[in-house]
Amino acid sequence: MLNPFRRPATGAACLLAAAGLVVLTGCSSAPQDADEVAQPAEPLTVVASEPAPSAPAATQAAAPDRGRAPVDVPVAALTQRLRPDVLVLGSRTLSPGAVRKLAELSPSGGALAFRAGTVRIGGKDVKAIGIDPSTFRTFAAEGTAEATAVWQSIARGEAVASHDTAKALGLTLGKDVALAPSATGTGSTLRLGALATTGVPGSDLIVDDATARALGLPSSTAMLLTAGKDRDPVALAEKVRQVTGKGAVVDLLTPPAANPVAFLTGSRAAKAFGAFSYRYFPDGTIQPDSRWVRENIRTETLPIMGRVTCHRLMLTQLRGALQDVVDAGLASSLTTYDGCYVPRFIERNPENSISLHTWGIAIDMDASTNYRGIQGTMHPEVVNIFKRWGFRWGCDWKYTDPMHFELAALLKG
């Protein structure tokens, strides 16, 4: 998940920036030197298209659904920025009572409900949100929050797309975009007024609340909450889950202060797992260079889990651990494989450290019953077996992650 406001002091990688590429040299839990601090591959930029002057009626007919003149619309000035610590996504509209209870968990003015759902552009599903630009901008990423032209574009009934979405769908800034609605809405044609990255997951396309309502996005399907300057985001997320129960997905956007790192550190890890350059994207994913992937990432069939894609050096120990689980008669205690090689930042946030899943040296299992912040359902003997095979368990961390096992040591022989 994305959080544009902080970077942990330590991380799972030492990073060097050069010519738009970042070179990974290994994992380190030691304090970073000045030349080891990560720099973005390229800045996340905001591009706005100034509205054209009013056109003759015949020209405007090409976009009959736009409905509002392309002029500046007053948007409240940015007087503060709030850190988006928790994102709530309901499977349906959150009740007024739930919205009220959730808002009470944040400092005054620190919670915001808005519309979220899916629309279609050119036959492709796009995650969209409907917002009040005057209030939502306070939660947006630095740079985007200050770009008044972006929020004015939304206020006058235009669409704003993320850079990745515009590139993937071939959208042109300043041109019209035809939106197909959800099952209950009506289609609309909107001018693409800006390209911007908000830092909030699921905001690939942003429109104002009235447009979102017409498109069929239900009200109050999502909420952003801030814990406040001196409060614990983890504790806030737990309180939010107590309110929502299983009726919503609760994502912690601000990770704990102490991010876990591997025992394998420094030059030893770089030599073992290989250094690679990569490019990253605003959605928090990473694209390592193809040569490193070819030389190090393998897919094999393992006991219990079936086909698994990991780093070649992890597969032997993972196979051994899983076979010991089978031999112990505990194979039925593990049911799902939820990923190993998944190149991304921690919480899919470019401001965070590189996840060990990027190297393919961490595996998630039984995620549905072992999500973060709980003790989970892992059998104690399964945990012991994995530790004997050189793995560390995420449930041993202060903010637990019981689905997660990561390679902590390479075993000889």
Q: For residue 23, is it left (φ>0), alpha (ψ between -120 and 50) or beta?
A: beta
Kindly list the structural domains of the chain, giving each domain's residue range(s) and its CATH number in brackets, ordered by start.
15-29+261-407 (3.30.1380), 65-252 (no CATH)
Q: Compute φ and ψ for 189, nearest 5 degrees.
A: -115, 120
Which amino acid type is present at position 56?
A: P
Residue 341 CB-density burial (10 A; 0-12 exposed, 13-18 middle, 19+ buried): buried
State the Cα–Cα distance between residues 33 and 16, nearest whole angstrom. 11
pLDDT digits (tens, 9 = 90+) for 64-96: 334 444 556 789 999 999 999 889 998 889 999
Residue 246 CB-density burial (10 A; 0-12 exposed, 13-18 middle, 19+ buried): exposed
| pLDDT at residue 62 in the model | 28
Residue 325 CB-density burial (10 A; 0-12 exposed, 13-18 middle, 19+ buried): buried
State the Cα–Cα distance between residues 172 and 360, nearest whole angstrom. 37
| pLDDT at residue 118 in the model | 92
**In the structure, what pLDDT confidence band is assigned to residue 48 with cuts at 50, 70 and 90?**
low
pLDDT digits (tens, 9 = 90+) for 205-260: 999 999 999 999 999 999 999 998 878 787 888 889 889 887 788 877 775 443 33
Q: What is the dihedral of CA 43, 28, 388, 372, to 10 degrees?
A: -40
Which run of H or E residues covers position 118?
Answer: strand 111-121
- CA terminus-to-terminus distance, the chain: 38
Beta bridge partners of 362: 406
| pLDDT at residue 1 in the model | 33
